[in-house]
């Protein structure tokens, strides 16, 4: 999981000066924002927002974690990858990787996403349309 090329969805952007804290490294909250940027791009790629508009069903983040491996600093450029590791009945697990041009792999993480029906305010099964879109993107 420590190779950015293993991630079918990637976002690239520079580290912003304002993301650093008093200790002169990127604040830990920013890592979660980086994951979020990659997750949203992944959702764009598989058509989540169109599916939600049509059905009222979309994933919600139930759990997330980050393993900090390197302290990021300004200036730097990052590539953040996202991929789905596994799909269950009502949820899927997404892996993340933050790759720094200066340092290499800076962090890894994961998120548990639960399918939620916004019409009934209850969790629901992962729709076949979403499973198929994930499998196609992941080329499994």
Beta strands in the chain (DSSP E): 9-14, 57-68, 77-87, 91-100, 104-117, 122-123
Q: What is the pLDDT of residues 13-55, one digit of tens each?
A: 999 999 999 999 999 999 999 999 999 999 999 999 999 999 9
Please name the residues in contact with 79: beta carbons below 8 A apart, sequence gap of 6 or more: 4, 10, 11, 12, 98, 99
Domains along the chain with CATH numbers = 4-138 (3.10.129.10)
Q: Residue 97: what pLDDT? A: 98
């Amino acid at each position: 999981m420590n190779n950015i090329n293993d991630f079918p969805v990637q976002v690239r952007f520079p580290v912003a000066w304002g993301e650093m804290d008093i200790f002169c490294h990127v604040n830990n909250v920013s890592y979660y924002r980086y994951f979020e940027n990659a997750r949203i791009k992944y959702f764009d790629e598989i058509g989540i927002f169109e599916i939600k508009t049509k059905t009222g069903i979309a994933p919600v983040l139930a759990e997330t974690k980050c393993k900090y491996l390197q302290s990021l600093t300004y200036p730097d450029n990052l590539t953040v990858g996202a991929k789905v590791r596994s799909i269950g009945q009502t949820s899927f697990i997404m892996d993340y990787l933050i790759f720094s041009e200066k340092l290499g792999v800076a962090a890894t993480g994961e998120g548990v996403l639960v399918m939620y029906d916004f019409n009934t305010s209850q969790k629901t099964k992962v729709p076949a349309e979403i499973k198929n879109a994930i499998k196609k993107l992941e080329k499994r």
